[in-house]
Structure 1
Amino acid sequence: NAYFLIFLITSASLCTFAIPPSNSHGRLQITCTLLLTSVTFRWVVNKSLPTISYLTALDVYAIASIVALCIINVFHGVVSYLYYNQIYLATYLTPTNISELQLSLYPEYSICRIDRYGFFILSFIFCLYQILILLWTFWKPYKRRRSMKRKDEKTRVEFMNKINNSEPPNGM
């Protein structure tokens, strides 16, 4: 249950890319809220589970999700800085001809393109991470079961060899 809830919180951060870069305060507000939600959820889950001295798979997944939220938050901050820096520069440049006017409109287009590339790259990394976690979640217990089955078979063969090689007791 906790895996799925952490997945939902983290995947909701990808929805912030639907907000235009011009509304950066909205993007940052939503991403920071999701980050705080994720940290609080991790804290609540840790309080409800028994205390152990090592990181569990759930801890690693939750920490990786918090790191992903931080990366998305930093990305939105950088895009916001670039956007407002370009808008600030464009307001002080008064275009005198058509080519300068097109040049002053270009930064917003390039920032939207950077934002779109960031969305595709972060979405790809997020999906790849989810697939790898899913495979690891099923592969690790399967590998352990196979190892235990081999050990059981080896122990059974050794036990049968001991029984077959032992001498019958005296008196029979």
Structure 2
Amino acid sequence: MWNAYFLIFLITSAALSTFSIPPSNSHGRLQITCTLLLTSVTFRWVVNKSLPTISYLTALDIYAIASIVALSSYLTPIATNALHLSLYPEYSLCRLDRYGFYVLSFAFCLYQILILLWTFWTPYKRRRVMQRKDEKNREDFISKFGQSESSSGKVN
């Protein structure tokens, strides 16, 4: 499970490297993003082939699908017409690109933190419920077993 999570994390976080390419080179950005998207889809397909077939989505499925959606959000190239609308096209385009990088980086980090917390919290919550049930069953067993011993001791 952790191998798959970590590799999907690496593939998705590599999409942030597209911001290192100048905004005017939209075909280079699109090429890298499409390659990462295809890599993510292929990795998801390979992981699903190695897992047992079930009829519901697992936490890994949800994470992989959300990562693919996050990668596809990088597929919106800046129109080349925007380069001609400004007096200083590179400066305004770079500033807009930088803001996009900050917003997407923040959203990506927040998403990873929330997924990590959810991944730990859900099993911990189930474990606590099972411990409570075990304690209750243990107390019921001791009370029943203790009563049967005391009643059998009085008969002898």
TM-score by length of 2: 0.91
- Structure 2: runs of 5+ lacking an equivalent: none
Correspondence for 1:154: 136
Query: CA shift at 1:171, angstroms?
Result: 5.2
Correspondence for 1:18: 20
Instruction: String of CA shifts for 1:37-60, please: whole Å, max 9, x gaps.
Output: 100111111111111100011100
Query: CA shift at 1:69, angstroms?
Result: 0.2
SS for the counterpart of 1:86 is: helix
Q: Is the 8 A contact 1:86 1:108 kept in 2?
A: no
Q: Is the 8 A contact 1:39 1:66 kept in 2?
A: yes
- Structure 1: runs of 5+ lacking an equivalent: 90-102
Does 61-70 or 156-165 show the bigger shift?
Answer: 156-165
- Alpha-carbon distance in structure 2 between the residues aligned to 1:72 and 1:125: 13
- Moved >6 Å (runs of 4+): none
Correspondence for 2:99: 117
Correspondence for 1:37: 39
Matched residue type, 1:156:
R
Correspondence for 1:145: 127
Correspondence for 1:85: 81
- Alpha-carbon distance in structure 1 between the residues aligned to 2:82 and 2:7: 38
Q: Percent identity?
A: 73
Correspondence for 1:128: 110
Is 1:168 aligned to 2:146, yes or no? no
- Alpha-carbon distance in structure 2 between the residues aligned to 1:51 and 1:169: 55
1:104 equivalent among 80, 83, 87: 87
- Alpha-carbon distance in structure 2 between the residues aligned to 1:113 and 1:53: 46
Query: CA shift at 1:165, angstroms?
Result: 2.8
Matched residue type, 1:34:
L
Instruction: String of CA shifts for 1:54-73, please: whole Å, max 9, x gaps.
Output: 00111001000000000111
Matched residue type, 1:85:
N
Matched residue type, 2:87:
S
Q: Indicate the RMSD between aligned Cα atoms, in angstroms.
A: 1.5
Does 160-169 or 40-49 show the bigger shift?
Answer: 160-169
Q: Paired residues, what number?
A: 152
